[in-house]
Chains A and B, each alone.
Chain A
Amino acid sequence: MKRILTLILMILIFPLILTGCWDQKIYEHIGFILNVGIESSKDGNMLITFTSPVVGEGEGETGVELIEVTGGILREGRQNARNMSSKQLESGKLQQFLISSELAQKRNVHDLIEIAERDPILPIQCWLVIVDGSPNELIKAAANLKEKPRPAIYINQLLENSAKGSKIPETRLADFNIEYLAPGLDPMLPLIKLSNNQVMVTGSALFSKGKMTGKLSTRQSFLALAMMGRARKAGFSSIDPIFPKVSDDGKEDMATELRAIKRNIKIKMVDGEPVVNIYINFAGYISEYGWDSLTDQAVQKEIESYLSERLKKDCIETINILQQANCDAIGIGDMIRAKCGEYWKSVDWEDAYRDIVIDVDVNVDIKQFGVID
C-alpha cells in the first residue's frame, strides 16, 4: 500500500523535478526584430528586410543589424534570416511592419500579415505602415542617420507624434484587422516615404478589400479623422491663406490649431436611398495671424465663417477621394447596417458606396488666440 502511494506521488511530482527548462528564451541570446520591411522582389517573391539592434560589441548607440532575405511568406523570411543572423531572431518586440505601396496595391494585406494574429507572441499593437517607395531603402537610409536613434525607434516616435497631431490614423495591426473584417468599414493606414534622406510622414493610405486603392495628404487625413470622430484630443495646425488680410506685409497664410470636438452623422432614407449628413464642430485656437485686433467680434466671426467654408470644401473633396478609392473609412456602411437593415441586405455595399450622397456641414468656433490681441 505504501509503495503504491509513493509511486503515485512520484508520478505526480517527477515531471516538476526533471528539469529541462523547456520554454526558456534567454534574454541576451535573442536578437529582437524591431521592424520588418516587405516589398516585392524581382523574382516574384517578397523581399523582406529585418532590423535588429546590435548590442555590446559594435557601434554603441545606433548599431543596427540589417538582414535582407527573400521568401514567399513572412515566416519563411524569418526562417531564412535566422540562417544569417548573429543572434536568434525573435519577433516579440516588433514595432512596425513596413509594406511597400506597390505590394499593398497588388496583394491583400490582411492575408499577408495573418501570422501576426495567429502567433500570440507577435504584438498585434505594432504599427502597420505603408511606404511610398521601397522599405528596404528607407530602412537602410534611416540606419545611416547618425543623429537619429535606431530606425525602428525613430519611425516609432515619428508615427506616435504624428498620430497625436491627428495627421495620420493611429491604425495598429489589431485595428486594421478589425476594420477589414467588419462589413461596412475599411481601414486606413499611415503613409511614409523617404525624402531627402529623412523619413517623412505624408498622410494615409486608403484600403478597400485589403488592397491599397488611394491616398490622402496629412490635411485630408486630419479631416477624415475628424469625420470619424477621432480628432477630439489632438490638435492639428491648419494652414490657410490669411483672411481677412491684415496688412500688405506679405504674410500669406495663417495657422489655426483645430480640434474636432463634436461630430454627428445623420442618415436618412430618401426614396430608398440613404442620404448622409455629417456635421462637425471644430474648436480653433489661432496660433499665427498678424498684428491685428482679434478681440473684435466681427473679425472673429469672419475668420470663423471663412474657415468653415474652407474646411467644408476640403471635407467634401476628401470624401470624394474616399468614395473613389472605395474606402469606407468613416464607417457609414457600418452605421447603415446597424440602422437600416433592409437596405443593407438589398445592396452590395462595395458598389453602392461610390454613389452615396454625403453632405458635410462644418462649424468652426474660435476659442482663443494667444496672449496678444
Chain B
Amino acid sequence: MMIKKLKTKKIEESGNKAEEKDDKKESEKVEDGKEKLSSSFDDNIYKIKKSFENCPDIIMRKVSIGQNKTGYFLYVAGMVDTDLVQRDFIAPVLNMGYEGLMKEESLENLPVTDISFPVDINTIIDDVLRGNTVFLGEGIDHAISCNLVLFAKRSIEEPIVEKNVKGSHEGFVESLLTNMSMLRRLVKNTSLKFKTFKLGATTNQTCAIAYIEGIASPELLSMLSEKIKNLNSDGFIGIGYIEQFITDHPNSPFPQYLSTERPDKTIAALLEGKFAIMLDGTPVMSIVPVNFFAFFKAPDDYTSNWMFGSFIGAIRVFAAIIAVFLPGLYISVLAFHYYTVPLNLLISLAESRSKVPFQPLMEALIMEITLELLRESTIRLPTYIGTAVGVVGGLIIGQSAVQAGLVSNLMIIVVAVTAIASFVIPSYDMGLAIRFIRFIVMLFSAVFGIIGITTTASLIIANLVILESLGQPYFQPWIPLKLKDLKDAVIRLPINLHRTRPDIAQPVDKIRGRNK
C-alpha cells in the first residue's frame, strides 16, 4: 500500500516526463533512428525476441485477445508486482477485447497508476528493463506500458558509519525513487527539483541532481550539469566514480565532495543552496560545493546547544591536527631535537627508549602499519568478531609489543591517541586523507626533523588554498576571510544568528526564513 502511495505521488512527475518523452519521441523518431513499430506484428515480436535472447528473467507471455489475434505481455520477473499486474493490468486488458483496445479512452481508464503508450521498439525495451509491464497486441499500433514495479530492496535503517544521538535514524537506500521520495517527505515544497541524467553506456543508470529552486545558483547548476552530461563510461558502480570523474583536482588527497547517507544532512545542505548528486544503485549522495570545514561537522552539533556544538567542533579540528602531526612530531623530537623534551620527562623517556632496538622512524612505522592492518581487517570481519579483535588487538598487541621490547611506552600512547583522534572525524573520505598525509609527514620528519614537518605543513596549506570545489574556494571562510560565514565554520554561534546562508554555494536568496 505504501508503495502505491509513493507511486501516486510520482505519477505527476514521471507521467509528465513520460508524456514529454513520448512527444519528443514522436518528433525525434526519424532523427534518432529509433525503430518504429512495423505494421507486421511478427516482425516486431521477432525483433523483441532477438533482443531478449538468453535473458530468462524477461518473460514474454502470450495471450489471445479475440478475433484470432495474439498479444504479448512483456515484463521482467522479479521486478513487477505480480499481484497487481494480474489483477489490474492483465485482467482488464483481456476483458477489453480487440475493439476496446483500439479505443484510446478505454485504455486511459485502465486502473493502473502510471501508463504510457510507446510506439517504438527501443522505448518498449527500455520500459521493460525499467520494470514496466508492456502489452503488445497484433494489429494495435501502440504498445501499452504500465509501471507496477515491486522489487526486493533494503529496508530503511540507520547508516552504519554515520550514527548520531539526537536526530533521525533513517538512511538512504539503493533505489533512486525511494531516495527521492524521502527527500520529498522532508521538503514538502515544489521548489525541490531533481534534474535527471542517464549515465553509463552499458548500465543505463539514472543520476539525479537535487536542488532547491530559488536558493541554488543557476550558474553552478549548469556547470555541474555540463560536467555530468559529459561523463562517458561503462557504468558507475558507486557515487565515488562520478566524484572522481568530475572533480577539478584529482591529485589532491582532500575530498572535494561530501558524501553522506543521511537525509537530514542532505536537506541541510540543500537548504544552503548546495547540490546533491544521487545515483541509482547506491545509497550514498554527494554534496557539492563544500568547504574544508564541512567535513568536521555532524548533525548532532546543530541539534544541541551552541556551546557544546562549538566545543566539539573545536575538538574535532584539534583531533585532526593531532592525527596528522603527532607521530611526525614524536619522530622529529626523538631523532633530532632531544633538547625540547622537558626535564622531568627526560630520563624516564630515555629509560623506556633504551630498551628499544629500533630507530624512532622504524618504530613509528611498525606501529602505524600494524594499526592500519588492524583497521582494514576489522572492516572485513563480521561485527561480532570485529569488536573482539579490535579490543584484543589494541590491548594485547600494544602491551606485548612493549614487553617484547619492540616499541616504547610513549610510542604506544602516541599511536593510540593518533588512532582515536583519526576516528573523531565524521567523514570517511577526510579520514582517509588524514591517514595518508600522516605517513608523508612521518617520512619528511625522519629526514629533516622539525623542518620536515614545517615543509609538509606548508605544502598541505598550499594545497588547501589552491583547491576549489565546483569553482568555490575550498578553505573559506578562513582563507579568503569571510567574517559572516565564520559563525558556522569551526565554532558554531547560536542558531538565531544563522540568518544568512553561507557564500559557498553562491545562493540566489541569501536570507533564511520568511522574507518580510
Chain A nearest CB: distance from B164 CB in Å?
A: 43
Q: Could you tell me if A55 and B347 are in contact, using CB atoms closer than 8 angstroms?
A: yes
Q: Could you tell me if B339 and A26 are in contact, using CB atoms closer than 8 angstroms?
A: no
A27-B360 contact, Cβ under 8 Å, with A21-B446, A55-B354: yes
* Chain B residues, Cβ within 8 Å of A55: 347, 350-351, 354
Q: Could you tell me if A93 and B335 are in contact, using CB atoms closer than 8 angstroms?
A: no
Contact count A vs B, C-beta below 8 Å: 59
Q: Is A56 interfacial (CB 8 A cutoff)?
A: yes
* Chain B residues, Cβ within 8 Å of A27: 333-335, 338, 341, 349-350, 353, 360
Could you tell me the distance between the alpha carbons of A16 and B459 in the complex, rounded to whole angstroms? 15
Q: Could you tell me if A26 and B447 are in contact, using CB atoms closer than 8 angstroms?
A: no
* Chain B residues, Cβ within 8 Å of A156: 343
Residues in A104-159 with C-beta less than 8 Å from chain B: 121, 123, 150, 153, 156
Chain A nearest CB: distance from B260 CB in Å?
A: 38
CB within 8 A of B338: which of A21, A32, A150?
A: A32
**B341, B350, B360: residue with the most chain A Cβ atoms closer than 10 Å:** B350
Q: Could you tell me if B336 and A25 are in contact, using CB atoms closer than 8 angstroms?
A: yes
A21-B447 contact, Cβ under 8 Å, with A27-B335, A90-B338: yes
Q: Is B359 interfacial (CB 8 A cutoff)?
A: yes
* Chain B residues, Cβ within 8 Å of A16: 447
Q: Is B224 interfacial (CB 8 A cutoff)?
A: no
A28-B335 contact, Cβ under 8 Å, with A19-B447, A55-B347, A95-B343: no
Q: Is B477 interfacial (CB 8 A cutoff)?
A: no
Q: Interface size on A (CB < 8 Å)? A: 23
Q: Could you tell me if B338 and A25 are in contact, using CB atoms closer than 8 angstroms?
A: yes
A156, closest chain B residue (CB)? B343
Q: Is B346 interfacial (CB 8 A cutoff)?
A: yes
CB within 8 A of A123: which of B336, B339, B350, B354?
A: B339
Residues in A11-39 with C-beta less than 8 Å from chain B: 16, 19, 21, 23-28, 30, 32
Chain B nearest CB: distance from A64 CB in Å?
A: 10
B335, closest chain A residue (CB)? A24
Supplied contacts A27-B350, A55-B347, A93-B339, 20 more A-B pairs, CB within 8 Å = A19-B447, A21-B335, A21-B446, A21-B447, A23-B336, A24-B449, A25-B335, A25-B338, A26-B359, A26-B360, A27-B353, A27-B360, A28-B356, A53-B346, A55-B350, A56-B351, A56-B355, A90-B338, A92-B338, A93-B346
Q: Could you tell me if A53 and B347 are in contact, using CB atoms closer than 8 angstroms?
A: yes
Interface string of A269-297 (1 = CB under 8 A from B): 00000000000000000000000000000
Residues in B319-348 with C-beta less than 8 Å from chain A: 333-336, 338-339, 341, 343, 346-347
* Chain B residues, Cβ within 8 Å of A90: 338
* Chain A residues, Cβ within 8 Å of B339: 92-93, 121, 123
* Chain A residues, Cβ within 8 Å of B351: 55-56
Chain A nearest CB: distance from B349 CB in Å?
A: 7
Could you tell me the distance between the alpha carbons of A21 and B347 in the complex, rounded to whole angstroms? 25
* Chain B residues, Cβ within 8 Å of A23: 336, 449
* Chain B residues, Cβ within 8 Å of A24: 335-336, 449
Q: Could you tell me if B447 and A56 are in contact, using CB atoms closer than 8 angstroms?
A: no
* Chain B residues, Cβ within 8 Å of A153: 343
Residues in A227-285 with C-beta less than 8 Å from chain B: none
- Contacts from B to A (Cβ < 8 Å): 333-336, 338-339, 341, 343, 346-347, 349-351, 353-356, 359-360, 446-447, 449
Could you tell me the distance between the alpha carbons of A326 and B337 in the complex, rounded to whole angstroms? 42
A26-B334 contact, Cβ under 8 Å, with A21-B446, A92-B339: yes
A93-B447 contact, Cβ under 8 Å, with A53-B347, A153-B343: no
* A-B CB proximity, top 3 nearest: A92-B339, A56-B354, A28-B353
Could you tell me the distance between the alpha carbons of A150 and B338 in the complex, rounded to whole angstroms? 19
Could you tell me the distance between the alpha carbons of A93 and B344 in the complex, rounded to whole angstroms? 11
Could you tell me the distance between the alpha carbons of A92 and B343 in the complex, rounded to whole angstroms? 11
A28-B346 contact, Cβ under 8 Å, with A21-B447, A23-B336: no
Could you tell me the distance between the alpha carbons of A28 and B346 in the complex, rounded to whole angstroms? 10
Chain B nearest CB: distance from A136 CB in Å?
A: 23
Could you tell me the distance between the alpha carbons of A238 and B351 in the complex, rounded to whole angstroms? 44
Could you tell me the distance between the alpha carbons of A32 and B351 in the complex, rounded to whole angstroms? 13
Chain B nearest CB: distance from A321 CB in Å?
A: 35
Ordered by A's residue number, 24 sampled pairs between the chains whose C-beta atoms are within 8 Å are A16-B447, A21-B335, A21-B447, A23-B449, A24-B336, A24-B449, A26-B359, A27-B333, A27-B335, A27-B341, A28-B353, A32-B338, A32-B346, A32-B350, A53-B346, A53-B347, A55-B351, A56-B351, A56-B355, A93-B341, A93-B343, A93-B346, A153-B343, A156-B343
CB within 8 A of A30: which of B333, B338, B347, B356?
A: B338
Could you tell me the distance between the alpha carbons of A131 and B334 in the complex, rounded to whole angstroms? 34
* Chain A residues, Cβ within 8 Å of B350: 27-28, 32, 53, 55-56
A21, closest chain B residue (CB)? B447
Chain B nearest CB: distance from A115 CB in Å?
A: 16
Could you tell me the distance between the alpha carbons of A56 and B408 in the complex, rounded to whole angstroms? 13
* Chain B residues, Cβ within 8 Å of A92: 338-339
Could you tell me the distance between the alpha carbons of A271 and B201 in the complex, rounded to whole angstroms? 105
Chain B nearest CB: distance from A110 CB in Å?
A: 24
* Chain A residues, Cβ within 8 Å of B353: 27-28
Could you tell me the distance between the alpha carbons of A27 and B336 in the complex, rounded to whole angstroms? 8
* Chain A residues, Cβ within 8 Å of B333: 27
Interface string of A57-98 (1 = CB under 8 A from B): 000000000000000000000000000000000101101000
Could you tell me the distance between the alpha carbons of A55 and B349 in the complex, rounded to whole angstroms? 9
Could you tell me the distance between the alpha carbons of A21 and B445 in the complex, rounded to whole angstroms? 10
* Chain B residues, Cβ within 8 Å of A56: 350-351, 354-355
A63, closest chain B residue (CB)? B347
Could you tell me the distance between the alpha carbons of A90 and B337 in the complex, rounded to whole angstroms? 11
Q: Could you tell me if B338 and A93 are in contact, using CB atoms closer than 8 angstroms?
A: yes
Could you tell me the distance between the alpha carbons of A196 and B336 in the complex, rounded to whole angstroms? 42
* Chain B residues, Cβ within 8 Å of A21: 335, 446-447
Chain A nearest CB: distance from B368 CB in Å?
A: 18
Chain B nearest CB: distance from A138 CB in Å?
A: 20
Chain A nearest CB: distance from B141 CB in Å?
A: 63
Could you tell me the distance between the alpha carbons of A25 and B335 in the complex, rounded to whole angstroms? 5
* Chain A residues, Cβ within 8 Å of B356: 28
* Chain A residues, Cβ within 8 Å of B447: 16, 19, 21
B357, closest chain A residue (CB)? A28
* Chain B residues, Cβ within 8 Å of A95: 343
**A26, A56, A121, A153: residue with the most chain B Cβ atoms closer than 10 Å:** A26
* Chain A residues, Cβ within 8 Å of B354: 28, 55-56
**A21, A53, A90: residue with the most chain B Cβ atoms closer than 10 Å:** A21
B354, closest chain A residue (CB)? A56
* Chain A residues, Cβ within 8 Å of B343: 93, 95, 153, 156
* Chain A residues, Cβ within 8 Å of B446: 21
Chain A nearest CB: distance from B486 CB in Å?
A: 37
* Chain A residues, Cβ within 8 Å of B338: 25, 27, 30, 32, 90, 92-93
A53, closest chain B residue (CB)? B347
Could you tell me the distance between the alpha carbons of A156 and B342 in the complex, rounded to whole angstroms? 13
Could you tell me the distance between the alpha carbons of A171 and B360 in the complex, rounded to whole angstroms? 37
* Chain B residues, Cβ within 8 Å of A28: 350, 353-354, 356
B356, closest chain A residue (CB)? A28
A95, closest chain B residue (CB)? B343
* Chain B residues, Cβ within 8 Å of A150: 347
Chain B nearest CB: distance from A348 CB in Å?
A: 42
**A53, A93, A121, A123: residue with the most chain B Cβ atoms closer than 10 Å:** A93
Could you tell me the distance between the alpha carbons of A297 and B392 in the complex, rounded to whole angstroms? 73
